[in-house]
Amino acid sequence: MQLSYKYRAYLDKEIEKKLFHNLDLCRWLYNTLLGILNAHRGEFGKQDTQDAIVQIKLVYPELNDVHSKVLQMVNYRLWSAIKGLSKLKKKGRRIGRLKYKKKGRYNTLEYNQSGFAIDGNVLSLSKVGEIPFDMHRPLPDGDIKGVVVTRQDGSWYVIMQVELPDVSAKPLFNESRIVGLDVGVTSFVRGYDGEHHEVENPKLLAHKLDELRFRERELSRKQKGSNNRRVSGGFKVLKSGGIKMPK
């Protein structure tokens, strides 16, 4: 199971400048790949646009300022959007074409599997630098599969994608010691694990029966709707007309 943990990040001006530069390059790549698909509708698949990134980098070497995994996730994001539109169309919804990302409308960098390292409350990103963040809650034990850096409402955040261990693979009990339990009337519970164990019935109602009878008679003499009737000696009157005994 994979869970995401979001933390507020605090950047200096130099790191923020690099992130903005990375975001703009990713936006440009997204629009370029979308333009290729629009020009060659139906001729290109997900792997084709993935392979095209290598060729685009030869023509536009500035893309080398961005980690390769981040560029791959741009392609993944594009095809996820295409898949989402396809699902809506199958449901009978009217859909248009994907829109090109305008400047300032691409706000997320995704590092998948590599290109990042975490040391305490500092995230190191390849080709960007170190980003301190507020670890207001500790990360659980597990493998960090990816890191997302995103800008929301003028603030920066880092999101850790943690793969938690599969607890279902661990036995919930010690199979070498199995105990059978039998709830009965004469005895409250009996246990069988090679030996016989018995817990006597506490008979809680029997111990309170005399007091319950007294409270019922006391209650019957109180005026209906009064505070005295509603709560009498710690015994609460129920809507059904009975009373609830105190703990």
Q: Which of 138, 117, 137, 142 is nearest to 127 (CA)?
A: 117
Beta-sheet pairing, 122-125 with 180-183: unpaired
* Calpha distance 137→199 (Å, rounded): 44
> Which of 127-136, 179-188, 214-223 has the least mean pLDDT?
179-188
Q: What is the pLDDT of residue 43?
A: 85
Beta-sheet pairing, 235-237 with 243-244: antiparallel
Q: What is the pLDDT of residue 26?
A: 96
Please provide the average confidence, as pLDDT, over all residues in the chain. Answer: 84
* Calpha distance 78→94 (Å, rounded): 20
What is the mean predicted confidence (pLDDT) over 144-159? Answer: 95
φ, ψ of residue 44 to 5 degrees: the values are -115, 140
How many other CB atoms sit within 10 Å of the CB of residue 123?
23
**Residue 92 or 56, more confident:** 56
HEC string of 64-77 equals HHCCHHHHHHHHHH
pLDDT higher than threshold 60 for residue 240: no
Token pair, residue 9, equals 């990040």
Q: What is the pLDDT of residue 193?
A: 61
Tell me the one-letter amino acid at 30: Y
pLDDT higher than threshold 60 for residue 243: no
Token pair, residue 1, equals 């199971």
Q: What is the pLDDT of residue 227?
A: 74
Are the beta carbons of 68 and 54 closer than 8 angstroms? no
What is the mean predicted confidence (pLDDT) over 109-115? Answer: 94
What b-and-e string marks burial along 175-187, b requiring 16 or more CB atoms within 10 Å of the CB?
eeeeeeeeeeeee
Give the list of residues 6+ apart from residue 18 with CB closer than 8 angstroms, or none: 127, 128, 129
Token pair, residue 163, equals 């793969």
* Calpha distance 136→121 (Å, rounded): 10
Q: Which of 49, 113, 55, 53 is nearest to 79 (CA)?
A: 49
* Calpha distance 188→206 (Å, rounded): 14
The structure's pTM equals 0.65
Percent of all residues in the chain with a pLDDT value above 90, rounded to a whole number: 53
pLDDT higher than threshold 70 for residue 185: no
At 212-226, the pLDDT tens digits run 888 888 888 888 777
* Calpha distance 71→53 (Å, rounded): 8
Q: What is the pLDDT of residue 115?
A: 94
CB-hemisphere CA count at 13 Å for 95?
16
What is the mean predicted confidence (pLDDT) over 153-158? Answer: 95
At 26-81, the pLDDT tens digits run 999 999 999 999 988 888 899 999 999 999 999 999 999 999 999 999 999 999 99
